[in-house]
Structure 1
Amino acid sequence: MTEFLLSVHVLVAIVTVGSITVAASMFPRVALRACGGGEERGGRSEGTGTAVLLHRVCTGYAVAGVVVPVFGIATGAQLGVLTDAWLIVSLVLTVAAAVLLGLAVLPGQRRLLALAEGAATEEEARPTASRLSMTTGMFNVLWAVVVVLMIVRPGSTTGA
């Protein structure tokens, strides 16, 4: 059972968190380019359509990503490591990343999309894009630390 729980946890983490980190990292540059104009297709610039798609990927996978800590906690319970410091820190960082995603990254994407769809210039949108890039970078670093903790498991008797 532990192998199944761990497999689901890792697979869902790769698919959801990996997709979010890539899409969220690409988003500010694509949305900023859309603010600079671009080829019109169906009443919307090509860059704006791509930015909308990247935002949908982030939003959709954020919802699906709830499964990651659920299966992570179930796996931790099976292994008897729920009170290990590395797991507790990982859970705290996961919550921090989720809060950052929900309260800063996704709303920042919506603000930048509104600028792009409102025909803002690239110069007008640059401060918003810069803040969003920084926030997305912080989100990505949190996940990188969680991955390292999951692999190294400092202080764990089951660690590598």
Structure 2
Amino acid sequence: MTKILLSLHVLAAIVAVGPVTVAASMFPPAVRQAAPAGVGTAALLHRICRVYAKVGLTVPLLGFATAAAMGVLGSGWLVISIALTAAAAGILIAFVLPRQEELLGQLRDEQGVDRRSTARLAMFTGVFNLLWATVTVLMIVRPGSTTGA
């Protein structure tokens, strides 16, 4: 059962988190390049971020189930990974998605988009991506692991 849970956890991470990280990274340049009437690409990227963020909820759920099955819920690397995952989710919910919506609103209202706004969004997106990359490395390396890898 552990192998099935771990496989589902990894697949969910690839399928759900991957598109969010890519689409969120592509959003600021898409907004900068969008003509006031051409918001289609930016709107699509925002929708990908929103939808896959919801699908991404399966990743920590499957992760908890996998960790419980493996008996590693109290491991330091896992606790740190959980904290970093929560931080990444918080940044996505509190900073990335709302700022994307705000910039889309400005484009739809044919207002100019401030370059500093897109730069701030790119910064939050970068932090989000860096947190996920760190979690990925922790999941692979697992300090103190007995796998010998």
Residue in 2 aligned with 1:5?
5
Residues 72-91 of structure 1 correspond to what in structure 2 (within 5 A)?
72-91=63-82
| SS of the residue 1:154 aligns to | coil
Cα contact 1:84–1:156 (8 A) shared by 2? no
Counterpart in 2 of 1:58? Answer: 49
Letter in 2 for 1:6: L
Q: Distance in 1 between matches of 2:148 and 2:45?
A: 36
Indicate if the aligned counterparts of 1:94 and 1:146 stay in contact, CA closer than 8 A: yes
Distance 2:29 2:109 in 1: 17
Q: Which runs of 5+ in 2 are unaligned?
A: none
Cα RMSD, aligned residues only: 1.1
Counterpart residue number, 1:41: none
Aligned pairs (5 A) from 1:1-160: 1-34=1-34, 37=35, 44-45=37-38, 48-121=39-112, 124-158=113-147, 160=149
Larger Rg: 1
TM-score normalised by length of structure 1: 0.90
Q: Which amino acid aligns with 1:31?
A: V
Q: In 1, distance between residues paired with 2:115 and 2:52?
A: 26
- Work out the CA distance in 2 between the residues paired with 1:103 and 1:23: 17
Shift of 1:159: 5.4
Runs of at least 4 residues of structure 1 off by over 3 A? Answer: none
SS in 2 for 1:11: helix
Structure 1 residue 115, shift from structure 2 partner: 1.4
Equivalent residue letter for 1:18: G
- Segments of 5+ residues of structure 1 without an aligned counterpart are 39-43
SS at match of 2:72: coil
1:10–1:75 CA distance, 2 compared to 1 (3 A): same
Aligned residues: 149
